[in-house]
Homo-oligomer: A and B are copies of this chain.
Amino acid sequence: MKPLAVTTDQPELAPRSWTTRRDEKTRRLAAVAGWLEDGVLPTSRMTEALELLIRPGDRVALEGDNQKQADFLSRSLAKADPAKLNNVHLLISSISRPEHLTLFERGIAHRVDFAFAGTQSLRVAQLLEDGQLEIGAIHTYVELYARMFVDLIPQVALLCAEKADRHGNLYTGPNTEDTPTIAEAAAFSQGLVIVQVNEIVDELPRVDIPGSWVDVVVQADRPFAVEPLFTRDPRHIGDLQVLTAMMVIKGIYAPYGITALNHGIGFDTAAIELLLPTYGESLGLKGKICRNWTLNPHPTLIPAIESGWVESVHCFGSEVGMEAYIAARPDVFFTGSDGSLRSNRVLCQLAGQYAVDLFIGSTLQIDADANSSTVTRGRLAGFGGAPNMGHDPRGRRHASEAWLKLLKNTGPVSRGQKLVVQLAETWKKGGEPTFVDELDAIAVGEKSGMPVAPVMIYGDDVSHVVTEEGIAHLHRAEGIDERRAALAAVAGVTPIGLRAQAQKTEELRRRGIVQFPEDLGIRRGDAKRSLLAARSIDDLVTWSGGLYTPPARFRSW
């Protein structure tokens, strides 16, 4: 290669436009301008407008969050004429509604990048097999949002809020969730921001997203869909879960000094929340543990809040029925000047990754190395946010008491570690072992042609596994064999548990690497549902002073 001379460094560049995205946006908006009044589109024009505002091949970020759904927009999009609108590349964190997949059946969309596909996961797998759907990648929520600022920048965002005013300012209500993040990705890349709202008003309670980020507002035919995903009825918590929860409180939270934490969703962690005001109180732990939370507003946290355990809760999203309770507890929850919650998944994930010392969550399967997954056969479910919470964040540089307790002495260059705790009963209700030689995820990954198996939490990130048998402090084990022995010691009569050797288990107990209930001074017979601060949804309502209003399906009275 011949070095270029100074004067020719800058070649004669062909004139080009640097405003193609902006020009295209202007062009599309002009096509619907006649229908807009103050930026508001008539509800009846929605499908027609989408056919003009979206072009074949566009990347379209459709707000299907973990909780709230821009379902008027997705239903309207699914009615589009595939001759006009096809081959869309859908960016959606949660494939959770039937019409999300109708888009693929009808050819309106073809490619998808997503994070979670709970109830629709079987159908995703089927459409994939039939060639009607192509998967870019399965992400966690925040990974998908991250890519919206890098290589998956959307041309169009279809969003969801409670209210808009005549200037396009938006009020999200408590389920702020991901709207500000997706709006930012589209609005500042010359993308179109189209928002469905429940109501258009003259004055908003507060502004969550400024009107200068929004192009088109439409009043939906009915309020947006949202599911109470984080409500756990205490009636379904059994004695075994109480036992496990007691072990977690006494064997992990207390000795490690866990003050800032995140709980996954599930009855196991709900049991912990409900034992704080009773069992936790009896251990004198109030004020010493579990003060600062990154957590959706779990109804099962109400008794701990009312008993004065909880200093703060920052939320990924909200929870149906908790609105009035949250509004009445602004010292605890992040609320606006209007009184209602401001949640924010990206910021709560940031907090969960870099500001808390412990993640604890349930899983469906664990292998001998503590790899775990909730993926089961035939389902391409994805993991939502669990992997981001359930790993040791290696970009962390500040220390805390708990983090330092996991410091491995590796000479002058060492670091602490986040506690990542996996909770499981050794056998599932269906009569399948939780501890298995090979995760179902491996077969699912192979069948779907995934480049790596869909593991939720990797074993080398897991510090503790807790079952009804006991606690395995995996981070204290020396070497892989001892780590496996510690895990086997709490794996009961499963394929993995049967490998435990009594003598090694005894040694591990002596060294504090394995702890059974008796090692913690916990009598199995004391682990009773009666210890729960609330044993029904009704009890939770009582604790809340009537402020919590559970959805109908949770009411038994």
Contacts and interface: CB of A to CB of B under 8 A. Distances in A.
A146 B533 contact: no
Number of copies: 2
A362 interface: no
Interface residues of A, number: 129
Interface stretch (A18-26, A36-44, A51-59, A95-103): A18-26
Nearest to A389: B395
Interface stretch (A78-86, A117-125, A396-404, A508-516): A396-404
Contacts of A426: none
A392 interface: yes
A372 to B, nearest CB: 10
A461 B396 CA distance: 13
Contacts of A348: 149
Contacts of A10: 303, 306, 533, 539, 542-543
Nearest to A438: B412
B188 A355 contact: no
Contact of A347 (B139, B184, B356, B390): B184
Interface in A270-321: 278-279, 282, 291-292, 294, 303, 306-308, 311-312, 314
Interface in A399-451: 399-400, 404, 407, 412-416, 438-439, 442, 450-451
A497 interface: no
A399 B461 contact: no
A93 to B, nearest CB: 13
A175 interface: no
A520 interface: no
A3 B535 CA distance: 13
A530 interface: yes
A289 to B, nearest CB: 13
A18 B331 contact: yes
Interface stretch (A221-229, A334-342, A488-496): A334-342
B453 A413 contact: yes
A145 B350 contact: yes
A150 B6 CA distance: 54
Given A4-B531, A10-B303, A187-B336, 16 more contacts: A3-B278, A3-B526, A3-B528, A10-B543, A146-B350, A146-B353, A147-B398, A149-B334, A184-B342, A190-B331, A387-B397, A394-B461, A399-B450, A407-B452, A413-B458, A416-B451
